[in-house]
Amino acid sequence: MNIRRVAAVASKEWREIVRDRMFLALTFLVPLSLMLVVGYGLSLDVEDIPLAIVDRDGSALSREYSYRFIDSRYFDFKGYALDRHELPPLLADNKIRAAIIIPENFQKELLGGRPVVVQTIIDGTFPFRAQTTRGYVLAMNTAFTSELLAAFISKKRGIPLAEAARSARPVKLEARYLYNQSMKSDWAIAPRLIMVILMMTPPFYTALGIVREKERGSIYNIYSSTVTRLEFLFGKLIPYVGISSANAAILWLIATQLFGAPFKGSLLFFVPATLLYIICTTGLGLVVSVLVKTQVAAMVVTFIVTVIPSILYSGVIVPISSLSESAQATAHALPAMYYTNIIVGTFMKGVGLRELWPDVLVLALYAIGLMTIGYRMFHKRPST
């Protein structure tokens, strides 16, 4: 392989990219826009849930119970409803997402030592939000019940309330969250978006760059030249690898500086691993460009083979372990999952090559395999 000829092809490709100012601008604006729009628009935090309360008792205890939800940051109190029949229209119009119905004789039954059933109505159109809302309601109800029981024990035994509270809760659960103690979804989403964007954009650039040569007919200049297949492919890919590497640096800065995601790992490991992933994704674009002949077809095929795997089979939204067996097999056959492990490990856990070398190895094998397939499928044809 002649390095000078590779450099000549790369220089020619870069000049064509610069000449097309719209394409050059989009190569940097598209990743930036995706990071900002999706980063700010996608959040897994369930807060400010619109809530209405029906208090049919109107007692001091029922008001205290209601204030547990009204004062919570997880709920956005919309007001009291006079009757449960007012709730269905509010739920249907999306004015509220949950409702608490406190029955009559709430205080009387509790003070008499008898259980009371409080009904909770939750909008189940979005299961994830509904399950989270149910968890919030259960937690607040448990806290209220424990405090009420502690007050009852304190009064009956004549002991301080703090001691009674310990008796009311003999087993106290303390949960500690590792790696993301504040449970901020931005810290989890922003780094993973780097994987998604680098899975989508480099294949688009590469596929369009090579297919554009076919549509214009300039590919025949390569067919009749002394440039070998390997020199041509390397020269074509170098500018797009460079652009994608620059985008990766920009995305890293946005994730750490704008979204505040902590980076606990080593850049000496993260940078080469990211470059290897970019080579994988540009290799994917190379294979697509060899298979299709038009830019429209290249965009459609690239969209199918990059967007869907990067979102559904990478662990960004749904953990891989929660997928079906066939979906897990698909995830393990794609590079997105392995780079997601690297992203999570370097950003959140502060681990490096010792723990993540299997993922790096798979990406290396994937890159070699894609480049080999692209090389084998690309043939120089004699000019006619």
**Confidence category of residue 38, pLDDT binned at 50, 70, 90:** confident
Question: Once rounded to an integer, what is the mean pLDDT over residues 336-365?
Answer: 92
Convert the pLDDT of each residue in 81-90 to its tens digit. 888 888 989 9
In this structure, the answer to whether residues 83 and 212 fall within a common structural domain is: no
In this structure, the answer to whether residues 229 and 366 fall within a common structural domain is: yes
In this structure, the answer to whether residues 226 and 301 fall within a common structural domain is: yes
For residue 85, what are its two tokens?
Answer: 């029949």
Out of 168, 201, 216, a domain closes at 168
**Confidence category of residue 156, pLDDT binned at 50, 70, 90:** low
In this structure, the answer to whether residues 324 and 189 fall within a common structural domain is: yes
pLDDT over 90 at 4, yes or no: no
Convert the pLDDT of each residue in 179-231 to its tens digit. 877 777 788 888 999 999 999 999 988 888 888 877 777 777 777 777 888 88
pLDDT at 166: 59
**Confidence category of residue 159, pLDDT binned at 50, 70, 90:** low
Report CA torsion sign: 29, 34, 36, 41: positive
pLDDT over 60 at 164, yes or no: no
In this structure, the answer to whether residues 116 and 191 fall within a common structural domain is: no
pLDDT over 80 at 158, yes or no: no
Residue 176 lies in a domain: no
pLDDT at 251: 95
pLDDT at 242: 93
Residue 179 lies in a domain: no
In the chain, how many domains are there?
2
pLDDT over 80 at 64, yes or no: yes
Residue 173 lies in a domain: no
In this structure, the answer to whether residues 159 and 211 fall within a common structural domain is: no
pLDDT at 13: 85
Residue 178 lies in a domain: no
Q: Residue 55 belongs to a domain with what CATH number?
A: 3.40.1710.10
Range with the poorest average pLDDT among 118-132, 203-217, 228-242, 352-366 = 203-217
In this structure, the answer to whether residues 117 and 249 fall within a common structural domain is: no
pLDDT at 277: 94
In this structure, the answer to whether residues 209 and 321 fall within a common structural domain is: yes
Q: Report d(CA 336, CA 159) in Å as an integer.
A: 59
In this structure, the answer to whether residues 260 and 200 fall within a common structural domain is: yes
pLDDT at 152: 61
Out of 137, 168, 199, a domain closes at 168
CA distances from residue 289 to 13, 327, 370, 380 in whole angstroms, order as listed:
15, 27, 12, 14
pLDDT at 316: 80
3-13 exposure pattern, b = at least 16 Cβ within 10 A, e = fewer = eebbeebbebb
Contact yes or no for 292/309 (Cβ under 8 A): no
pLDDT at 198: 93
Residue 38 lies in a domain: yes
In this structure, the answer to whether residues 29 and 115 fall within a common structural domain is: no
- High-pLDDT (> 90) share of the chain, %: 30
Average pLDDT score over the chain: 85
Range of the domain at 143: 49-168
- High-pLDDT (> 70) share of the chain, %: 91
Residue 368 lies in a domain: yes
In this structure, the answer to whether residues 107 and 199 fall within a common structural domain is: no
pLDDT over 50 at 382, yes or no: no
Residue 174 lies in a domain: no
Question: Once rounded to an integer, what is the mean pLDDT over residues 307-314?
Answer: 82
Out of 168, 197, 229, a domain closes at 168
Q: Report d(CA 52, CA 70) in Å as an integer.
A: 9
Question: Once rounded to an integer, what is the mean pLDDT over residues 65-69?
Answer: 91
**Confidence category of residue 163, pLDDT binned at 50, 70, 90:** low
pLDDT at 232: 84
In this structure, the answer to whether residues 122 and 223 fall within a common structural domain is: no
**Confidence category of residue 97, pLDDT binned at 50, 70, 90:** very high
Q: Report d(CA 107, CA 97) in Å as an integer.
A: 26
Q: Report d(CA 75, CA 73) in Å as an integer.
A: 6
pLDDT at 384: 44
pLDDT over 80 at 151, yes or no: no
